Amino acid sequence: MTYEIKSIGSSAFWFILPCLFVLALTSLYPIAFGFAVSLTNWNWGVQLDFVGLANYVGLLGDSEFWTVIKNTVVFAAAATSIEIALGFYLAVQVDKLSIPTDLIRAVIMLPLMISGIVVALMSKVMFDPFLGVVNYLIGAFGFGPSAFYGAALTAMPSIIAVDVWWQTSFVFIIMLAALRGLPKDPIEAALVEGASNFTIFWRIKLPMLRSLLITVVVIRAIDTLKVFDIVFGTTGGGPGLATEVAQTFVYRTAYSYQQIGKAMATMILFSLLILAISLALQGLRQRWEADK
């Protein structure tokens, strides 16, 4: 069902204007300011020269920048897909249970209530090569101890695992509510028509959930692309550049090296990346909506 407003009087524009003005001031000004700074070599001090696109050219030609972008995208893609798959799977399984599921829901939701830096701290202790319970456990199964955050090969998977532990319940909660809210009739009709539960899931339920699922993917993708706390609190971007992501890179550039212009340029480039990814997912959703 679509409701269309047939004609909007031009007076409506004048009503919206003050609101637009405030929005412009609060959201456009900082962005414009950031962009302006990205064209300088400001060092938080007296050095402030216009350098044109030098920061951008420098970044795009810098292999470190590309490693950072790759790390960020790898982290976001892996964490988002595992969280979506796992959270949705859990929701489908819990939805099938005919017993009251309040307790299960509460337990699965617990990680979501903890702040990122606390999650980082807890995982750092648990993954500690010498003191950590995780190494103790894998040792009990006969495997050698792993350095986890300390080794280039295992650092990124460890951070992904922590984010999955932390955020999967977000997907779970939303998808469970959506599954519970699906209209019963079409599902019953499909049962009578002789469809198996497998068919009903893929042909009836999933299509009805598709656009919500994409929305959840968009939210998780943006959130994971902007990851900071759990990287900062565990590896700090190391070892080497193994887990350096956009936010930690910008943090280091701005606060350790005082290269504010370069940091801002990174932010602008990174924001464009997020924008592109969100628009692509949004486009996908609109195609599906139109098709519905």
Binding site for another protein (CB under 8 A): 1, 183, 185-186, 188-196, 199, 203-204, 207-208, 292
Phi and psi at residue 143, to the nearest 5°: -90, 155
Query: How many angstroms separate the CA atoms of 106 and 111, rounded?
Result: 10
Q: Which of 235, 278, 82, 96 is nearest to 170 (CA)?
A: 82
Rounded least distance, CB 177 to another protein, Å: 18
Q: Compute the least distance from the CB of residue 186 to another protein, in Å.
A: 5
d(CA 159, CA 230): 7
Smallest distance, another protein to C-beta of residue 288, A = 10
Is the CB of 6 or the CB of 292 nearer to another protein?
A: 292
Distance between CA atoms of residues 229 and 166, nearest Å: 12
- The Cα–Cα gap between 80 and 223 comes to 9
Q: Quick one: 205 or 220, whose CB is closer to another protein?
A: 205
Closest contact distance (angstroms) between CB of 145 and another protein is 51
Q: How far is the CB of 188 from another protein (least distance, A)?
A: 5
Peptide bond into 239 cis (omega under 30): yes
Q: Which is nearer to another protein, 106 or 291 (CB)?
A: 291
Nearer Cβ to another protein (4/185): 185
Neighbours of 92 (CB within 10 A): 17
Q: Please, which residue, 30 or 186, has the CB nearer to another protein?
A: 186
Per DSSP, helices labelled H in 226-259 are 229-232, 246-251
